[in-house]
Chain A
Amino acid sequence: MSVVQSVDNVALLPAYLAAGTAVLVLLADLLVARGRVTLATAAVGAAATALGAVLVGAGGERRTFCVGPDCSYVFGGRAALVAGVVALLTLGVLVLSGPLLRAGQSPTGEYCFLLACSMTGGVVLGAAGDLITLIVALETLTLPLYVLVGLRRGSLASAEAAVTFFVVSVVATTLTLLGAALLYAATGGLHLGRIGAILADRPDLLDLPLTTAAVALVVLGLAFKVAAVPFHAWAPATYDGAPLPVAAYLSTASKLGGVVALLAVVQYALPADVTGPVLALLAVLTMTVGNLVALRQRRTVRLLAWSSVAQAGYILAPLGALALTAGRAADARTAAYAAAVTYAVFFVVLELAAFAAVVALRPAGADGGTVDDLRGAARRHPWRAAALGLALVGLAGLPPGLVGLFAKVTVVRSLLDGGAGWLAVVVALNAVIGLAYYLRLTAALWAAPAGAPAVVAVRARTVGVVLAVTTAAALVLGFAPQLVLDLAAR
């Protein structure tokens, strides 16, 4: 047996580009030491990573680091989609951070470096083929965020948020690692496909308490990362304490990472009839609690945070329907995974647009403020407020935010195809609760301004560009959702 493995460097190209970006940013900060250059380097690197992911992804599936039939790195259509979306999200967040960094509230070099590191984790995550790669990639994605959350100088809330996030996240990782170890002990496999095959071949393994505990630990640990109820308590405090662009990154790229990891584990490794009921329960709790608590929020970012908790519930719902489809045709299961990915992609586009609009409507470097701070914003900034309105309405799943409507349609359709009609009704009723608070925030934008003097919104053209591009993406996807549906199904 040859000790030297052949490595497919083309498949790894996006990961190289992402990691290279981080190194370049570090060097640029060290050698040039000008904030603008550092930021530009990071932005160009993120764009190159996205381009690399698209080019490699267009060429069909590539595998590397293989032991026999099992591969640790599988770069297919979905991996390309995830890598591309994460890189673009990073690019968007970098540009949104411009005013924050210029205001001198966070050190530019460190900020960009950490964001690029996090992007590297996200790019590898979609391609992970074994549990170790998966967990390492997920940690690479989240580890820099602990620092980023706390990186606002002189902000106590920021430091508190960082500590909360750190503690919760470390516990979650520990749980997942323990689960992975137990799973290895029970099955002797680490590759996702191999574990799945072993568990399918030997159903008696599932009767072992050890296996049950392992499955539960892996799923619950990952549920922390997507902030599913009851493992959600960290999210609102962390989002609200973090600088706005970091909060945007947390609720988009980081959440997407959690979803992708969960999806990989559930789809390839763990038996659907065990994880299905757990995920269905998590989905119902997550969307209901998230929506109900969001109704009471007065602070903009907390409202968005709770709403993104609720949205995680919609993403989990198709996975929850799998228990019932266990005996069904494979295409119903594939459709459910594709639905979860599709919803996640549509969601991050709208969420990034919403955060970009909040950044654009607030003073440079400020936090999200309260809903009342945004009252009457449409009179001062009609276009920015319209973009925020469109994003919020899309998150509520209504036209003219067609992309959100199709996201909801995709989920409900996959649930009904999977025979989980009751879950579809729960999702549908939750959409009604969701509209109540999205409408409150949207209506505030066009309401008569409050008595307080109007705050001066940030005057950065770059923020406007991100907002315009994201909104345009949401509009285009609204008319051509098939683009994402096709990619997610591959």
Chain B
Amino acid sequence: MRLGEFLLVAVLALPALGALAVAATPRDRAARAVGTAVAALTLVAAALLFLGDRTWVTHAADAPAVRPWHRLDLPWVPGLDLRLHLGVDGISWPLVVLTALLTLLCCGYTMWKVPDGGSGRALVALLLVVEVGILGTFLALDLVLFFVFFEVVLLPMYAIIAGWGGADRRRAAVKFALYTLFGSVLLLVGVFVVVSAAGTADIVALTGGTGLSRGTQLAAFTLLALAFAVKSPLWPLHSWLPDAHTQAPTVGSVVLAGVLLKMGTYGLIRIAVGVAPEGARWAAPVLGVLAVTAILVGSLVCLAQRELKRLIAYSSVGHMGFVLLGVATLTTTGIQAALIGNVAHGVITGLLFFIAGAVRDRTHTGSLDELSGLRETAPRLAGLLGFAAVASLGLPGLAGFWGEAFAVVAAVEVGGALWTTLGVLAAVGGALTAAYLLRLLRRVTHGRPSAAVGRLTPGLAGVELVAWAPLVLLALAVGLAPTLVLGVAEAPVEALVEVLR
């Protein structure tokens, strides 16, 4: 077995076996430590996937549009066209590393603080199972395997929300489970529409839509896009998200916003657009309009929002709107904007949810009416909140900027009345994003300290600093050097756009 194959197996097997080990460790604190160590090893394995030969020959006539750096292809259930076919390339690798990083930070965070509701051991085990599902989704190069991993995430995430969440957690968790399952059963149908028409489930062979009739592609794209629109989520299928985020424990929100939503946008790029490009071209205007509506609706709802976590949750709807707009343009610029927007949103929103969780744990409230003057009593927390909010609103030099700006640029570049209008409206949405995040800062950090805020002490726990520092640094690094993400993604995106033409 070569190093690359070994690493691909390790990235999935480590958290899977780790979850079992955590569940089997008798003492709660020791179990959490085991989980954190496993998550750290997974991150190392995920980062090492970068090693090896990544040379690309994009202009070779018969080169497939997906050329993974490493791949592993073993039969599993031939009767269902299911192969254990894994691979990593420049589109998936940044997301794989982001997933491993956020899971590590969440596991480390539970070392310090376990939310009320259940044992820390079970929470860490579930986080690791969720990680297996997400990483598997990003690594799968077989449509059926992709679907299986897509489903793996559902119930552990449900359990995290239902077990460790806020007061109204059961309803939110059930809503999350039913919405997500609605998406994934459509994915199941969509996958087999493709597989039974093409006779193979190999994503490498299928990318470019070769051999699929126009009708099949339209049907497949509709089903797949709906499935991923629920997960991303795209307006109007987003209504599970605010409830799930508001009720989930801090670590649940971080994983949910940071990487779970990315399964939808990644699937849209790799599966829906890749496998049914004809369908993608056909549906692109609809997707673009919905994405811009999501941006505007998300921003407007945020402007009227009175709850901290709910506001951040709705801001995700807006930010994912930019990502989907980028995908909908079907251009190199647009898809690259989508990829960097994905990573940036994962980093920044992860940080925002960590901070919101810290504010809530300290003040026992999330209501904007009861929070004010945070900078007076907890200047460091207020400073970090300010940094995260400014990064989220897309200040140039921070990670949020590239995704939003280039999604707008891509839309305008496509040209024509529709796309120009969409670009302009998206830019307006960007301005609204700035407005609601600044409103958030004004309400929470400025003014006289409210009763709830007045009790706070200025210090931050060491674990909090350790958990947040990587996200702060990444937000800066990706903002200053977007090539960190775009460098590896450039070649595969160009190859993908090549087959779209």
Binding site for B on A (CB under 8 A): 393, 398-400, 402, 405-406, 408-410, 412-413, 416-417, 421, 424-425, 428-429, 431-432, 435-436, 439, 443, 446, 480-482, 485-486, 489
Contact = CB atoms under 8 A, between A and B. Distances in A.
Given A400-B155, A443-B162, A443-B170, A406 B77 contact: yes
Interface in B160-189: 162-163, 170, 174, 177-178, 181-182, 185-186, 188-189
Interface of B: 77-81, 133, 144, 147-148, 151-152, 154-155, 158, 162-163, 170, 174, 177-178, 181-182, 185-186, 188-189, 192-193, 195-196, 219
B305 to A, nearest CB: 29
Nearest to A401: B155
A412 B144 CA distance: 12
Contact of A481 (B80, B133, B196, B219): B80
Given A435-B178, A443-B162, A412 B189 contact: yes
Given A398-B154, A405-B148, A432 B189 contact: no
A409 B144 contact: yes
Contacts of B155: 393, 398-400
Nearest to A447: B170
Given A393-B155, A416-B189, A481-B77, 7 more contacts: A409-B144, A413-B80, A413-B192, A425-B189, A429-B182, A432-B182, A439-B174
Given A413-B196, A439-B177, A482 B189 contact: no
A436 B179 CA distance: 11
Nearest to B193: A416
25 contacts: A398-B151, A398-B154, A398-B181, A400-B152, A405-B148, A410-B79, A412-B189, A412-B192, A413-B192, A421-B189, A421-B219, A424-B192, A425-B186, A428-B185, A431-B181, A431-B185, A435-B177, A443-B162, A446-B163, A480-B77, A481-B79, A482-B77, A482-B79, A485-B79, A485-B80
Given A398-B155, A399-B151, A481-B80, A409 B178 contact: no
Nearest to A402: B148
A428 B158 contact: no
Contacts of A421: 189, 193, 219
Contacts of B80: 406, 409-410, 413, 481, 485
A482 to B, nearest CB: 5
Given A399-B152, A421-B219, A436-B178, A428 B188 contact: yes
Contacts of B196: 413, 416-417
A435 B181 contact: yes
A428 B79 CA distance: 20
A432 B178 contact: yes
Contacts of B185: 428-429, 431-432
Nearest to A481: B77
Nearest to B219: A421
A485 B181 contact: no
A413 B199 CA distance: 12
Contacts of A436: 174, 178
A254 B152 CA distance: 32
Contacts of B151: 398-399, 405
B162 to A, nearest CB: 6
A413 B181 contact: no
Contacts of A486: 79
Nearest to B187: A428
A295 to B, nearest CB: 12
Contacts of A410: 79-80
A224 to B, nearest CB: 30
A428 B189 contact: yes
Contacts of A431: 181, 185
Q: Which of A393, A406, A428, A486 has the most CB of B within 10 A?
A: A428
A485 B77 contact: yes
Contacts of B158: 439
A408 B78 CA distance: 16
A485 B177 CA distance: 29
A417 B155 CA distance: 29
A118 B177 CA distance: 40
A12 B288 CA distance: 66
Nearest to B163: A446
